[in-house]
Amino acid sequence: MLAPLKGVGPALRFRPPAKNPWLMPVAPFGSWLYVTFFCGIRRIETRNIERLVRQYQSFQEGQARVIVAFRHVGVEDGPVVYRLMTGIVGREARKLGLRLRRPARGYFLFGRDVPEWAGHFLGWFLPLLGAISVVPGRYDSQSITMMRRYLTDMPHPIGLAPEGQVTYHNERVARLEPGTAQLGLWGLEDLRKQARNEEVVIVPVCTSYHYREKDRAGLGRLMAGVERHCGLPPLEGDSNEKLYVRVMRATRHLLDTAERHYARFHHVSFPASEEDGPTAGLQERMRRVCEAALSLAERFFGIAAKGDFVQRVFSIRQAGLAWMFREDIGDPDALPPLDRALADRVAIEAWIVHRHLELVDLFEYFRADYLSPDSGIDRFAESIVNLQDLVNRLEGGNISGRKNPFRKIARIVVNEPIPVSPYWQSYRENRRKAVAELTQAVFESFRAVAESGAGG
């Protein structure tokens, strides 16, 4: 379990990116170093990379403004795509004999709360790379103004993840947030107001992670660790058939444990399960646990349940952060002792309630039919790492406690770029409809790779 929050903190303020990001020149080497030694990436493979190289060329020649929209299947995506934008694009341009007017670089977004769980040094470090701090799932005028300016005026493309948060599966695309499409259309609107003719182009980039058959023994050991945490009698074997039995047994046990916990200590009623086959009823049980966890958090913060699970997660996260990092308190240390004690108490209670949120943040993406005895090594690795993370979340952890001991191959597939201008007239007539249509175009591009296995 994570160390509990010690008390209230000051508000999570907007962190402006450096006007002259002096760390950017070391980005090619630094990004290689980070993905290799901190993300456990054995190598990065690319497909259709020339599509992105040509968009960089168009960008630098003043013909287009570019958004690199990448899938968010793992915690490694940001560093891997940054490596793509700051190192691989330039290298591939030289191989193709294409001249870039300046070194290929890129900007990216990061959640304003990331330094609170990933390390406070990131709050200092990331802006020096030109990164923009944002509040996921909430309208934030400072961040939006900065993103619009970066898209239309800054010397490098901007990268972001339309899925909004980590979705944990190579081969299944989650619903996309509308922010990427909205930013593209805002950018086109800003360019036209300035009488500029550049196109805005969204380049869909699919990331995925792949394992070796020799990792199978390691999956057996990882599964044994999950079984020990659960108090299950150990099973042996790392063949597909045996690993599948072990995964499904642990999944049911963790569901049983979650249901007992919420029934006994939070007075949630769960109907008796009636399962006829390997996965029948499991998905509905997962949904009910997620609903119980979110409802508890919503009642605590006094917010209404609106939207799907992901939207509700965003709402709860913002409500909790507002209580843990108070905008109405300038300096917590300047409070009278009684006021400080009460503020600390509220922050700690909010942190504890956030444990329900962290469970759903992972569990919402579980699919009972994602794994079968015929699945390849990649799906087994994903599923077992996710099970280990589920134990971590039930024990009170968050994504910072997610462990993946395997060195992976990262694969990047660059899809056909999507110009935004064909949606412009529709946007002028009905903004919401145009944003939805453009979001769907990006979604279909992602899904064509994920569900066809082209990334595998």
The 10s digit of each residue's pLDDT in 351-410 is: 999 999 999 999 999 999 999 999 999 999 999 999 999 999 999 999 999 999 999 999
- DSSP class of 334: G
Weakly modelled stretches of the chain, pLDDT under 70:
1, 137, 274-278, 453-456
Q: What is the pLDDT of residue 274?
A: 65
- DSSP class of 108: E
Q: Which tokens go with 441?
A: 């175009």
Domains of the chain by range and CATH? 9-211+407-450 (3.40.1130.10), 213-401 (no CATH)
Q: What is the pLDDT of residue 14?
A: 87
Q: What is the pLDDT of residue 456?
A: 52
List b or e across 379-413, with b for residues whose CB sees 16 or more CB atoms inside 10 angstroms: bbbbbbbbbbbbbbbbebbbbebbebebebebbbb
Structural contact between residues 178 and 439, judged by C-beta atoms closer than 8 angstroms: yes
Q: What is the pLDDT of residue 3?
A: 80
Q: What is the pLDDT of residue 181?
A: 98
Separation of alpha carbons 110 and 131, rounded Å: 7
Q: What is the pLDDT of residue 275?
A: 60
Helices (H) and strands (E) in the chain, counts: 16, 10
Separation of alpha carbons 434 and 440, rounded Å: 10
- DSSP class of 415: -
